[in-house]
Structure 1
Amino acid sequence: MLVGLALVTCGISGGMLWVLGINYDGITGSAAQKVHPATYLAVLVFVWTMLRSGNPVAPVVDAAERRPASVLLCLVGFGLLAFIALRNGTGLAGALDTYVLSGLVVILLADRDALTMRHLEIVFHAVMLANAVLGLVEFASGQRFFPFRMDGQAFDTDTRSAALQGHPLANATLTACYVLALLGGGGSLRPAVRAGIVVLQLVALITFGGRSATVVTLAFGGVFAVVALNRALRTGRVPLLGAALAAFMLTLVPIVVSGLAVGGFFDALLARFVSDGGSANARVEMLTIFDAIPLRDLLVGPDPTIVDTLRRMYGLEWGIENPVVRSLLYNGVVMTALLAVALTLFLYEVARQCRRGVGLPILAFVVLINTFESIGGKTTLLAKFALMLLVLYPRRTLSGAPASSGPARR
């Protein structure tokens, strides 16, 4: 069931659900269709865990003791759900998919055995491999198989690859964090396989068109590579075969990059840097909305209909491209502060359950989610990221069993 949960969470997007006849990303349709299947499955697995324990209360108490921040994130997510419902707002499913699902994923993966974590790691690698290959196929063919849709309407002007993740920016963010996690030693792949996957993911990252993700990956990855190279040279133990292979590959890099540039591979990404379709202007205009909202309303949450009207007046029909600003405008200062505290504690808790090396992907994730709406709306990105860290950086004891963060239970 956990393997199925990982596969559904990481491999099914809103665009794929539309192909299956489910209007997940749209406004029309039944309310049940707006919740991601992974959330339903996570709740089902947790309920099953409660039932099979013999004492339904025990798993809840155990989760509160072992994963308190994840439980807090679930509670804040349910609080956000009630808050939106009481104000007759929209986006109820976002509270469940964005926050409750993420907390449940971490709770369900607490102290799992090595074999289960290995199976989950294989699933994650397989999904990311299929995602990269599909992105390259979409780029080469010009056809997007599962694009992001709003009530069935795809954005024909957006030619970026969508692959399995649907939204190009969410795809680029997850891919960038995955690359940095592999560079930082995440996973149990052999060096040659790891290098091949990193190269493939970097090439696919270009097709997803995420400017910030590309810059962050190259900048953070470049710094990490320099530090790692310096450490290797200082130890005095550099394999001659590895050094020769690295020198050979470095001579091929400018040739390959030049060939791809001549073939037009980078044209779409460069066009995004030259003309972003008003994205940068939208990030400026979204701040002007605060001038039209009284401070008293901003503290407890302005009227959602007023915010929607102001958004359209300022030409922000496609959304507010920052999760903090969006949450402040729709949920108010108090709820946004609760979400920020819960999310910070959640990421800290996830990092504590992992072995060393998670700092780089976490830093990249925090930077990148602030470049678009991301966790400010409905997304499974946070759950995917948490699952990625837990399966690529499992903390082990000397015996190979998962490290326990609490007292042993009968």
Structure 2
Amino acid sequence: MRSESRAARRSASAASRSALASAGLAASPDLSAPWRAEDDRPLVATVLAWGVGVALLSRFVLSENLLNAVIDYSSDGGSVLEKIHVGTYLGVGLLALALLTTRIALLPAEVRILRQFGWLVAVIAALTAVVVLAGNSVSAGFLVDTYVSSALACALMFVLPPDSRRRIGDALLIFMALSSLVAIAEKAVGLRLLPYPYVENGFRPTGLTSHPLVVGLFNAGSIAFVMATRWPGWAKAAAMLLLVMAAFAAGARTGALLAAAVALVSALTMPLSNPDPAQRLKTRGLILLGLVCLIPIALPAMAQLGLLERFITDGYVDDSANARVEIYRIFGLVDWRDILLGADPLWIKKLAFEKLGFEFIESPVVMFVFQFGALGAAALFCTILLSLWRLAAGSDWRAALGVVAFLLCALSNNTLSSKNQAIVMMVVLCLAYRRDDAPGRGWPA
């Protein structure tokens, strides 16, 4: 029986390798070192490493507001080509170059991730085709730049060896810390560094992002991955402090609370060198006691610095938060066919403004239901969740904590139903610090 089982496994493995080879990929037979330097064209490898880094990081450096100052990226008008980020175009070219010139070896777990994101693209393509055939309009720009580009980011990260992936993850976290530093400085001086098209009652910094809520979303989703870097302890502590303070400075209440919670859990569970479990437990207890003692000092200081302004003036639930709940009343204003089969998004937005007084629909559930119908929305949501779960499945549990924090923050606004690079961020960070079967990878023990 055992010999038959081994034979079956060998047969399945051979079939898998054959399928991968036909797609231009190769499953590594040696899981401990699947990225051996077998390519005699170091120039191609260097171009790919730098090119992928530039393509992925440009999604964050060239924010929505910066692009809108030059082209009609997310504003009304303009050509279809303008609606796609320049980083996406660059990524497509680099992926084509990699497939034509490079032998790509993947672990079985990585093949499963790539397959899952392939399913995500397939579901989006199928739903888009159904919507178009039904005669309704579809916002292809946000689907491509939010979801298809996340699958592209996944493929691009797998083009690179683990060390290059980690460097890109480190660079992205450094960008997040730098953006947080800019946001804190903006809060102090009352001026923004980058253009901001919206008129608000109070001042909220944006850092190097497009919106104050994006600061909270990015920081809540990325802060857990700081512990996966190989930075010295003081650098990790400084980066996490910057991320938390910037989220509060931006007035992103949900993002700030989630970032603080993830930072607290990360501090209490950080690796300790002492081999004695009792001593480690005692040390963690002292860390917890120290953090609790800091609260009476930190809260007044944060209030004095204006970091708690939105909590003090508006509380946690204000008109903006209520609007995200009240928008569900729109289901009572339409026919059941519109809910089941979908409706024209422009008509739905007009209905929300005229009947409910909401200029924007900040609910991915509402937007997906009317864009794709109830069944299509359920299929898309499930595929998105499965893709994120597959990303976190092979990583440390703190990566899963980061994914959960990201989802909770994203579901509190319209992140999942608008054009943004948030899911690309999670793809890059999860793959940069992934802990599979190869030794020396992923999170510190």
What is the TM-score of this pair, normalised by structure 2?
0.77
CA offset at residue 188 of structure 1? 2.1
Contact 2:253 2:316 in 1 (8 A): no
Aligned to 2:170: 122
**Over residues 312-349 of structure 1, what are the superposed CA-to-partner deviations in whole Å (9 max), with x where a residue is unaligned?**
12345442222122211232112212211221221122
Out of 199, 202, 216, the position equivalent to 2:244 is: 202
CA offset at residue 115 of structure 1? 2.4
Distance in 2 separating the partners of 1:318 and 1:229: 48
Q: Counterpart amino acid of 2:116?
A: A
Aligned to 1:79: 126
Out of 122, 144, 147, the position equivalent to 2:192 is: 144
| 1:26 correspondence with 2:67 | no
Distance 1:50-1:85 versus aligned 2 partners, 3 A rule: farther
Contact 1:35 1:93 in 2 (8 A): yes
Aligned to 2:309: 267
Distance in 2 separating the partners of 1:221 and 1:194: 11
CA offset at residue 135 of structure 1? 0.7
Aligned to 1:344: 385
Describe how 1:10-409 pairs up with structure 2 within 5 A: 10-19=60-69, 21-53=70-102, 67-83=114-130, 85-86=132-133, 87-110=135-158, 112-149=160-197, 154-157=198-201, 159-182=203-226, 185-222=227-264, 225=267, 235-237=277-279, 254-273=296-315, 276=318, 278-395=319-436, 397-398=438-439, 400=440
Distance in 1 separating the partners of 2:112 and 2:290: 52
**Over residues 27-85 of structure 1, what are the superposed CA-to-partner deviations in whole Å (9 max), with x where a residue is unaligned?**
12222221122222222222222332599xx99xx997662111111222333444555
Q: Counterpart amino acid of 2:148?
A: V
Contact 2:361 2:367 in 1 (8 A): yes
Q: Counterpart amino acid of 1:7?
A: L
**Over residues 117-142 of structure 1, what are the superposed CA-to-partner deviations in whole Å (9 max), with x where a residue is unaligned?**
23212311221121111111211121
Contact 2:153 2:428 in 1 (8 A): yes
Q: Counterpart amino acid of 2:337?
A: R
Structure 1 window deviating more from structure 2 (190-199 vs 105-114): it is 105-114
* Greater Cα radius of gyration, structure 1 or 2: 2
Distance 1:301-1:192 versus aligned 2 partners, 3 A rule: same
Contact 2:248 2:256 in 1 (8 A): yes
CA offset at residue 376 of structure 1? 1.3
Distance 1:244-1:69 versus aligned 2 partners, 3 A rule: closer
Distance 1:397-1:64 versus aligned 2 partners, 3 A rule: closer
Number of equivalenced pairs: 389
After superposition, the CA RMSD in angstroms is 3.5
Distance in 2 separating the partners of 1:246 and 1:337: 41
CA offset at residue 396 of structure 1? 5.5
Contact 1:298 1:328 in 2 (8 A): yes
Distance 1:252-1:216 versus aligned 2 partners, 3 A rule: closer
Structure 1 window deviating more from structure 2 (366-375 vs 216-225): it is 216-225
Aligned to 1:406: none
Distance in 1 separating the partners of 2:441 and 2:237: 28
**Higher RCO by CA contacts (8 Å cutoff, separation 6 or greater):** 1
Distance in 2 separating the partners of 1:96 and 1:65: 22
Identical-pair percentage: 23
CA offset at residue 179 of structure 1? 1.9
Aligned to 1:407: none
**Over residues 371-390 of structure 1, what are the superposed CA-to-partner deviations in whole Å (9 max), with x where a residue is unaligned?**
00111122221111221222
Unaligned runs of 5+ residues in structure 2 are 1-50
Aligned to 1:3: 53
Q: Counterpart amino acid of 1:387?
A: V
Distance 1:95-1:242 versus aligned 2 partners, 3 A rule: closer
CA offset at residue 246 of structure 1? 8.8
Contact 2:216 2:247 in 1 (8 A): yes
**Over residues 165-200 of structure 1, what are the superposed CA-to-partner deviations in whole Å (9 max), with x where a residue is unaligned?**
212222211101222333xx3222222211111111
Unaligned runs of 5+ residues in structure 1 are 403-410
Contact 2:220 2:262 in 1 (8 A): no
Distance 1:144-1:80 versus aligned 2 partners, 3 A rule: farther
